[in-house]
């Protein structure tokens, strides 16, 4: 069979770090081991029933059996705008400042292709979501890393970024509540971000994937709540985490009109538009009573509380996450992130994600997902405790 060579763009793509992890897990499972997988970010609970019913009804409507309008139905964009007004007090024009996307993963990759030319610079959080790198690689652009350090509450310190890097940068990626560190951002931080972006002509992309998931009564801050944010950037909001709709692939970008235009343009060439039934279900999710969201956040908070308490009991001294459904845990002395993750996998059959998979500043941590029942999380801690790795 003739082997056709991949394009230079594909060769530039970073290795899918988690593909390696999945292989190790599958190997243990095939040997018959009971593996507790806390290494990935896939919600474990079903989509609320009223959203599923909305899709079922919409699937019977012949209007949804045709190609939907290129840039989505007006009612869906209106629901997205209404959601932002209700939840964050942010007012946007649904026609010109909202773009419907095929999940935020594709939007995050496409935005680099929309705004960056070969050799341009993007500012990236380190550690950060690996797919930010993918779009930059496809655009043949360069990266400048912004370390997220515990001493700065895992927020970038703009004072530590070289001036020439800020002047070169065309695009900045941010993500709070943060994957992987589970940190949250303050209004003051976003206000400062707007100033820095304005001064240096940088477009800010705030990935608000975990926007609904804040703990201890704190509602996570939207970037667009800062004055002037809409002039210099956009926020991407996915329904995957808020409504357990990960497999539905529906998200939206909201904010700067020129950026929304660019996203619409690239999507016009790549897709037609999202299935109308999914748009209708998305509108139902955003418009309807949010009790299911509150219940979900309470569930994650209860899991967090019991899990963190049990970790401290076995001597693993860790801070409770402030948001997301992740916990970012320091590894004990004497181990790298990967060595420690491998040890937990091989000896305790508990899957964690090594922090260096999210960037060099992630070294020294592992990420776990609170995406299993309290019983399974307790069992995971019990198994880890038996390894006697921590002094009580």
More confident residue, 23 or 188: 188
Rounded Cα distance, 291 and 284, in Å: 13
CATH dotted code for 49-287: 3.40.640.10
CATH of 8-47+292-385, one of 3.50.50.60, 3.90.1150.10, 3.40.80.10, 3.10.150.10: 3.90.1150.10
Q: Please give the pLDDT value at position 392.
A: 57
For residue 211, give Cα distances in angstroms to 194, 196, 229: 19, 23, 16
Q: Please give the pLDDT value at position 15.
A: 82
Burial string for 225-254 (b: 16+ CB within 10 Å, else e) reads: ebeebbebbbbbbbbbbbbbbbebbbbbbb
pLDDT band at 40 (very low <50, low <70, confident <90, very high): confident
**Residues 230-275: pLDDT tens digits?**
999 999 999 999 999 999 999 999 999 999 999 999 999 998 889 9
Burial class (CB in 10 A: 0-12, 13-18, 19+), 49: exposed
Residue ranges covered by each domain of the chain: 8-47+292-385, 49-287
Q: What is the mean pLDDT of residues 207-220?
A: 97
CB 341 within 8 A of CB 354: yes
- 299 φ, ψ to 5°? -60, -50
- Which range (29-33, 74-78, 279-283, 291-295) has the least confidence? 29-33
CB 222 within 8 A of CB 211: yes
pLDDT band at 52 (very low <50, low <70, confident <90, very high): very high
Token pair for 171: 């695009």
For the chain, give the mean pLDDT.
95
Cα 176 from chain centre:
9
**Residues 118-152: pLDDT tens digits?**
999 999 999 999 899 999 999 999 999 999 999 99
**Residues 281-312: pLDDT tens digits?**
999 999 999 999 999 999 999 999 999 999 99
Q: Please give the pLDDT value at position 390.
A: 86
Res. 18: pLDDT tops 80: no
Res. 222: pLDDT tops 70: yes
Q: Please give the pLDDT value at position 206.
A: 98
> Of 389, 384, 349, 352, which Cα lies nearest the Cα of 367?
352
CB 384 within 8 A of CB 314: yes
For residue 48, give Cα distances in angstroms to 72, 135, 226, 267, 271: 23, 32, 31, 29, 27
Burial class (CB in 10 A: 0-12, 13-18, 19+), 149: middle
Q: What is the mean pLDDT of residues 68-81?
A: 95
Token pair for 59: 């699937």
Give the β-pairing of 203-207 and 251-255. unpaired
Rounded Cα distance, 115 and 307, in Å: 42
Q: Containing H/E element for 123?
A: strand 121-126
Q: What is the mean pLDDT of residues 305-327?
A: 95
Q: Please give the pLDDT value at position 293.
A: 96
Q: What is the pTM of this model?
A: 0.96
**Residues 355-371: pLDDT tens digits?**
999 999 999 999 999 99
CB 232 within 8 A of CB 203: yes
DSSP state of 124: E
The DSSP bridge partners found for residue 326 are: 369
Q: Please give the pLDDT value at position 132.
A: 94
Q: Please give the pLDDT value at position 57.
A: 96
**Residues 92-122: pLDDT tens digits?**
999 999 999 999 999 999 999 999 999 999 9
Q: What is the DSSP string of 304-366?
A: HHHHHHHHHHTT---PPPSBSSEEEEEPPTT--HHHHHHHIIIII-EE-EEGGGG-GGGTTEE
Res. 20: pLDDT tops 80: no
Res. 391: pLDDT tops 80: no
pLDDT band at 225 (very low <50, low <70, confident <90, very high): very high
């Amino acid at each position: 069979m003739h082997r056709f060579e991949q394009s230079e763009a594909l060769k530039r793509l970073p290795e899918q770090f988690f593909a390696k992890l999945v292989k190790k897990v599958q190997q243990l499972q095939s040997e018959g081991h009971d593996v507790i997988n806390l290494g990935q970010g896939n919600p474990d609970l079903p989509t609320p029933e009223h959203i599923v019913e909305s899709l079922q009804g919409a699937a019977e409507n012949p209007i949804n059996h045709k190609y939907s309008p290129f840039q989505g139905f007006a009612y869906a964009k209106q629901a997205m705008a209404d959601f932002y007004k209700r939840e964050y007090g942010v007012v946007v024009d649904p026609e010109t400042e909202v773009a419907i996307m095929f999940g935020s993963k594709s939007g995050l990759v496409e935005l680099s292709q929309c705004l960056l030319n070969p050799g341009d610079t993007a500012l990236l959080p380190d550690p950060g979501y690996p797919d930010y790198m993918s779009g930059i690689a496809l655009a043949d652009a360069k990266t400048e890393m912004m370390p997220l350090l515990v001493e700065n509450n895992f927020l970038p310190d703009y004072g530590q970024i070289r001036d020439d890097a800020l002047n070169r940068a065309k695009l900045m990626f941010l993500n709070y509540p943060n994957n992987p560190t589970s940190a949250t951002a303050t209004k003051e931080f976003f206000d400062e971000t707007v100033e820095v972006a304005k001064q240096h002509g940088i477009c800010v992309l705030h990935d608000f994937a975990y926007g609904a998931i804040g703990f201890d009564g704190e509602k996570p801050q939207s970037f667009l709540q800062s004055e002037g944010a809409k002039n210099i950037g956009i926020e991407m909001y996915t329904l995957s985490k808020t409504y357990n709709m990960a497999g539905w692939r529906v998200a939206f970008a909201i904010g700067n009109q020129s950026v929304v235009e660019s996203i619409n343009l690239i999507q016009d060439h790549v897709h037609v538009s999202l299935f109308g039934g999914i748009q209708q279900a998305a509108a139902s999710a955003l418009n309807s009573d949010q009790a299911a969201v509150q219940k979900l956040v309470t569930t994650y908070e209860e899991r967090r509380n019991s899990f963190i308490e049990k970790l401290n009991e076995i001597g693993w001294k860790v801070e409770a996450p402030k948001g997301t459904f992740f916990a970012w845990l320091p590894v004990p002395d004497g181990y790298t992130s990967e060595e420690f993750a491998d040890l937990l996998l091989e000896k305790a059959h508990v899957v964690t994600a090594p922090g260096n998979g999210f960037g060099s500043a992630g070294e020294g941590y592992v990420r776990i997902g609170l995406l299993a029942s309290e019983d399974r999380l307790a069992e995971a801690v019990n198994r880890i405790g038996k390894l006697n790795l921590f002094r009580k």
